[in-house]
Amino acid sequence: MGMLPRGMTLTRREVDLVARAVVSGRRGHGRRMDRLADLVASTMRNRLEAAGASGAGRIGHVRGILDRDVRDVLVGRVAKHLAWAALRRSGDAGAHAS
């Protein structure tokens, strides 16, 4: 139930790591990254469930404070990963697969 520091900065790599962890439900990226993933996932529960993301089943009740700018960046990146996961499940991602 700790507080995440205001003014926290994340690298692009860390943002992507957290976003993938939120969508996939996988953890094990270190205490800070896992806590961020849990916190973001708990705020996006409805979107994760609606998209059928694997990460939706991992969400518990997580409390904490996240800087608005950090939250906005993470939620935006998670939304992109959710869209990609939905495309991949539907089979429309073939031309863009990497």
Please check the confidence at residue 65 and state whether its pLDDT lies above 70. Answer: yes
According to the per-residue pLDDT averaged within each range, which of 18-27, 36-45, 63-72 is highest?
A: 18-27
| First-residue to last-residue Cα distance in the chain | 38
pLDDT at 97: 47
**How far from chain centre, in Å, is Cα 58?**
12
| pLDDT given at position 95 | 55
Specify the amino acid at residue 16. Answer: D
Single out the residue of 37, 47, 31 nearest to residue 15, CA to CA.
Answer: 37
- Residues in Cβ contact with 36 at an 8 Å cutoff, skipping those fewer than 6 apart: 4, 18, 66, 74
